[in-house]
Structures are given as C-alpha cells and as structure tokens.
Amino acid sequence: MTRRRPSLAVVGATGAIGGVMLQILSQHADVWGEVRLVDSPGAAGRKLVVRGEETEVLPIEETVFDGVDVALFLVPDEVSARWVPVAAARGAVVVDDSAAFRLEDDVPLVVPEINAHAARRRPRGIVASPNCTTLSLIVAVGALHAEFGLRELVVSSYQAVSGAGRDGVAALREQLALVAGTELGTSPGDVRRALGDGGGGPFAAPVALNVVPWAGTDAGDGWSSEELGIREECRKVLGLPDLKVAATCVYVPVVATHSVSVHARFESEVAVARAHEILATAPGVVLFDSPASGDFPTPSDVVGTDPTWVGRVRQSLDDPRAVEMFICGDNLRKGAALNAAQIAESIAAEFPRD
C-alpha cells in the first residue's frame, strides 16, 4: 500500500519566505500531491517554479482552499488572522508562520526537533511555528534542557535585516551604497544626518554602520513585542510556563541569518564536555566550537544552511550550572520556511495509506 499524497497550498508564495519554501519543496522528498500557490490578488497570475514545474499563482479567496489538505501560511499577521480560519473551516490543516495564533492555548506551537508530538493535537485545525529569533536558538537550548533542566535564559539577538522582510533588505543595501567610500561613522550622529532617522527603511534608526536595539512593536514598560515573544514562545515550546527569560533584540547590518548570545542556567551543573556531546548529536544542530582555531559560527558562513550552528560554549565563570553560547541560524530557513515545512511533512505522514 502507498500513502495518499495530500494536497498543499502555499499562501504567500511570492514573498521572501515563500521563495525559500518553494526551494525546500523542490529539494525535500516529494510527499505532496497537488501544490497550489496562493498570494494576494496583485501577485496572482505570476508563474513560479516548484518541483521543476512552472505553476501559476492563484489569488487568495475562500474557494482556493477547496480540496486542500494542508495549507502553509507565510504571510503577515493580519493576513493570517483573516484567512487562516477560512482555510481551516474549509477542511485544511493550517501551518501558520505568523504571530497571529502562536500564543493561543488551543493552537500548538511546534518545533519538530523538540515537541513534534504537539502537532497531532490541533482542535482548531491550526499549528503555529515560532518566531525566527526563537527558532534560531530553541533547538540547541532544548537539547540541553532535556539533559540538565533549563531554569533561566538571558539572550541578546543580532538580527538580520531580512527579519523585516524585503523592505529591510532593500533599506540596508540602499544605505550601504550611500555610506560606501565616505568617512561617515566617525562623528556623533553623522550617519543619522546623512541617511535620516530611519534611513528610509523599516527600522527605528539607520542600520548601515550601526546596530539598532529595537525589533517589533512597543509592548509596554520598555519591552518590544519581539522580546516578549521570545519569552512566551520558549516557555510554550519547552513546556516551562514559569521559565525566566530576558531578551534584548538588535538589528545588525547582515542580510540573512540571526545570531544569538545565550546565557542558559540549568537545575544541575553543566560540564562543557558533556554539553558538547549533547549538541554534537542533537538533531538540527551543528557544533562548531574551537575559537582558538577560529572555529565559531558567523552569519556569513551559516547563511543558506538548515541547521542551528553553536559555538563559544563555555561554563559561566560565576555559576557552574550556567553556560554561555553563541548561536547562528538562517532566519529564512529554519527560522521560517524550513520549520513550517517540517511541521507540514509530519502532518502529511498522518494521511492514510491507499
């Protein structure tokens, strides 16, 4: 007997994450029947290549989900909030990459390397995928948690501008062109005066020759939505509702791949040698940690790869139960498209054999 190949809809197929998803669908084992590409009416009619075939993009509307078994949503929050319930009501199991449903009690938040089982219980027909920054660190942290029992996380992210979408990438490239060959960056405020307060992009300050310690929207008390999202998503994925988490999110002049500096404190003492053993064998993790030889992950080396890369693993100087790490993960792959694809493939495996 052969397993029925379920049909798949990719909503947001023309976006940056959608483009990566089409690559993944073409590279992974083909478990899908029909693959239907969907986007806004303005993008409808475009032809994209998936699984080696040119496929026309359809406009999003209620009937586009008729006959769809699984729907991948790779769109902004407001689009998911409007259309995910429609797709689910028409019979599709939805895997949503937006923040619209992540923290809903009746929507599982899934990282297959950590809590794949959670995807099977989906009372609303929706499975959510975490934020790209959470996904950049959670696979490695989760592997250590299984051994040592995580109690506290303090993280600082160094986020690529593609986390703000194509507008973020365009803004960085434009800003770099404007500052190249100049003496900017040597006097207080000269970069801001030359580029404007936001540099003409989606950031709160210029990102070229700079870092911007703000990602997301104002969540009150000085915190951003991205920072609180990391806190709540780590708690939910790991099943630790009281986990102490403090995050600071920073945009840096990198096109793709987020980096995260991690201080993780556990219930028991952590020997670096044992942490290395766990990370070296953890699914979805590459240990790259010999700083004396220049071996540690950087965004420009990790971009375009699937795993979470971990280096600079060391025991905290003042706490034998804590370790410090530096982690890199491509925010468009594992941080978005890949995790959603992994969830969808696990759902495809549930379909009965003919």
| Residue-wise DSSP of 273-311 | HHHHHHHHHSTTEEE--BGGGTB---HHHHTT--SEEEE
258 is catalytic: yes
Strand partners of residue 260: 157, 327
Amino acid at 247: A
On the CB side of 316, how many CA atoms lie within 13 Å of its CA? Answer: 17
Beta-carbon neighbour count of residue 117 at 10 Å? 11
Query: Pairing between strand 322-329 and 258-266?
Result: antiparallel
Distance of CA 307 to the CA centre of its chain: 12
Helices (H), 154-222: 166-179, 190-195
Residue 329, strand partner residues: 258
Q: How many Å apart are CA 180 and CA 208, to the nearest integer?
A: 10
CB 341 within 8 A of CB 25: yes
Annotated catalytic residue within 132, 234, 249, 328? 132
Q: Which of 145, 234, 249, 258 is catalytic?
A: 258
Is 132 catalytic? The answer is yes
d(CA 6, CA 345): 10
What are the residues whose beta carbons fall under 8 Å from the beta carbon of 153, sequence distance 6 or more? 141, 234, 243, 244, 245, 246, 247, 262, 263, 264, 265
Locate all alpha helices (DSSP H) within 47-164, ordered by sequence: 77-89, 112-115, 132-148
Burial label, 28 (beta-carbon count in 10 A; 0-12, 13-18, 19+)? middle
Q: Which residues are catalytic?
A: 132, 258
